[in-house]
Copies of this chain bind each other. A is one copy, B any other.
Amino acid sequence: MSTTAATDLIFGLTRVVGLPALTERAGAPLAAEDIAQIVEEADRFCREVLQPDAMAADRAGAVYANGTVTTPPSYPAAYAKWVEGGWQSLSAPVDHGGQGLPAALWTAMVELGMAADASFMLGPLLTAGAIDCLHHYATPDQAARWLPRMVSGEWTGAMCLTEPGAGSDLGALKTRAEPLPGGRYALHGQKIFITWGEHDCTDNIVYLVLARLPDAPPGSKGISLFAATKVKEDGTRNALRCGGIEKKLGIHGSPTCVMLFEGAEAELVGEPHRGLHAMFAMMNNARLGVGTQGVAHGAAALRLAEAYAAERVQGGRPIAQHPDVARMLMEMRAVTLAARLLALETASCVDRHVLLGEEAAQTRLALLTPILKAWGTDRGVETASTGVQVHGGMGFIEDAGAAQVLRDARIAPIYEGTNGIQAIDLLVRKVAKDGGAEMRALLAEVRALPDARLRAAAEALERATATVLEAQGRDADAGQAVAVAYLDAAGWVLGGWMLARAAAAAPETYGAIADFYLRRLLPRATGRAAEIEGALAA
């Protein structure tokens, strides 16, 4: 039986990660019907406002000329509807005009929006990240001046981290912040790969910029966080501008900007030299968003592939009935659903931490986040590629749309920390840090489910955990060389865990897809565990 993304999301939120009970404990109960209504409205918005123009937006692309960026023709009006619908405020802090709804609901919105038009949805996603950062690190005065207009969507936010010589290694960045009279700073430097760094959908943009103070120590301990606005409070333009946009493989509608800071007035956010700390604190949420984007690419690919396979007849029957095409569609469904539920599980950790104050939830969040980000986005690319394959020759033709999904999906394993960086984060900062304790606790939950296949895979992963920890302690390079395999194994196990839970909650709807996954896809976990043992064998 086939379900839609929206029905899966409602089911996952209500019956798998238990949002009604969670919110009730938090004293702000959201009933299953409330959740269903919000998700259905979000789905309608995405299907009616974003999706119809997504292909045309890709064709038009963002266009740069003389420092200005014109987004695709449909974007300014769609963005106005986004603001009008109050969608940006969904899970934003109540203190600044937000609705304060759970992060798990925002995650559902992100998936639906990204599946409808990833290029568009990147603007709101980056704004949400900037809101989150300022909510934690801005002074009350700063927050009052910036946040209400970001939460409403009237202004967008942009994160300015990367520089030509500083990508994965942010410690190498060179942008300078020179003190100005009155406690302000002038920013000088060049930032690249700035998503939605310049556009025509709002009058103002808030830039969060990593830069060095004059007395900063070298490396990553000398980086501070600043905020600058495109238009200053006196209504004049700040000394920053877009120097160009990138010609990219995908997400053509999303302007990826070179941003030039030429003495732009800025304010320090948080403590001096603690900018990377502030960024890292925000990263779990940003990475949760990108992992969810991976789910969305899978969902978009599946939507197109299912429609094509139902309609395209070869050999006297729709190709959806050909065994190998049916297998491809099942793989796409099973992997996408597994990743979707894992995204909700990860987001619910944010909610358990923020709404219920559970410290344990933050530890779990820290463990799940790199797995979701990397495994979810790798699966997004893979599922998008399978979607192309289902279309046969038409998959290679841009008109069919499947190729666009693949082009758009390919960025997600790269940005917000490459998937290799995620794997090292998992191994070094999460698993090695506590000697594997939280991973073992998680795997104990997996093993507690009554499925022998899942239990065996969890045991293989537990052995691999011991192996990589031993390697990491003995020879860090050897450990890091298997980090991606280790993360991938964990992703396949956790995907099976989520589907087994879904099947337990609603066997008639999710039993078959869970069984497919456990029979056919879970062996990839044990394959990866075998790879780790092989790589590290004497």
**Interface, chain A (partner B; CB < 8 A):** 162, 165, 167-169, 171-172, 192-193, 246-250, 313-315, 322-328, 381, 385, 388-389, 392-393, 395-399, 403, 406-407, 410-411, 413-415, 418-420, 423-424, 453, 476-485, 518-524, 526-528, 530-531, 534-535, 537
**Interface pair B420/A324, CB less than 8 Å apart:** yes
- With A168-B392, A314-B167, A484-B327 as contacts: A249 and B406 at CB distance below 8 Å: yes
CB-based contact B410/A406 at 8 Å: yes
Knowing A172-B314, A480-B324, A523-B527, the reply to whether A411 touches B396 (Cβ < 8 A) is yes
CA distance A301 to B475 in the complex (A): 30
Give the chain B neighbours of A327 by CB distance below 8 A: 481-482, 484
Q: Closest approach, in angstroms, between the C-beta of A466 and any C-beta of chain B? A: 18
Residues on B with beta carbons closer than 8 Å to the beta carbon of A518: 534
The listed residue (B313, B314, B395, B526) touching A527 by CB distance below 8 A is B526
Secondary structure class of chain A's binding surface, majority of residues: helix
Inter-subunit contact B519/A537 (CB<8 Å): yes
Q: Nearest chain-B residue to A330 (Cβ)? A: B481
Q: Report Cα–Cα, A193/B167, bound state, in Å.
A: 41
Contacts of A519 in B (CB 8 A): 531, 534-535, 537
A248 proximity list for chain B (CB < 8 A): 396-398, 403
- Find out whether the CB atom of A520 lies under 8 angstroms from the CB atom of B527: no
Contact A162 B393 (CB under 8 A): yes
Query: Complex Cα distance A523/B464, Å?
Result: 14
**Beyond A172-B314, A381-B385, 16 additional pairs, beta carbon < 8 A:** A168-B315, A193-B393, A248-B397, A322-B420, A323-B477, A324-B480, A325-B420, A389-B413, A389-B420, A392-B414, A403-B410, A407-B407, A485-B520, A519-B537, A522-B534, A527-B527
Which of B167, B169, B324, B478 interacts with A393 by CB under 8 Å?
Answer: B167
Let me know if B414 and A396 touch, CB within 8 A. yes
List 22 A-B residue pairs with CB atoms under 8 Å apart, sorted by A's residue number: A168-B314, A169-B314, A192-B393, A193-B393, A248-B397, A249-B406, A323-B476, A323-B481, A324-B420, A325-B420, A326-B481, A385-B410, A389-B420, A392-B414, A396-B414, A407-B407, A453-B534, A519-B531, A519-B535, A519-B537, A523-B527, A524-B531
Asked whether, in the complex, the Cβ of B480 is within 8 Å of the Cβ of A323, the reply is: yes
Q: Enumerate chain B residues within 8 angstroms of A246, measured Cβ to Cβ.
A: 396-397
Which B-chain residue is minimally distant from A327 (CB atoms)?
A: B481
CA distance A64 to B420 in the complex (A): 42
Report the minimal beta-carbon distance from A249 to chain B, rounded to whole angstroms. 4
The 7 closest A-B pairs by CB, nearest first: A527-B527, A523-B530, A519-B534, A323-B480, A249-B403, A169-B314, A324-B420
Q: Name the B residues within 8 Å of A530 (CB-CB).
A: 523, 526-527
Interface pair B483/A324, CB less than 8 Å apart: yes
A397 partner residues in chain B, CB cutoff 8 A = 246-249
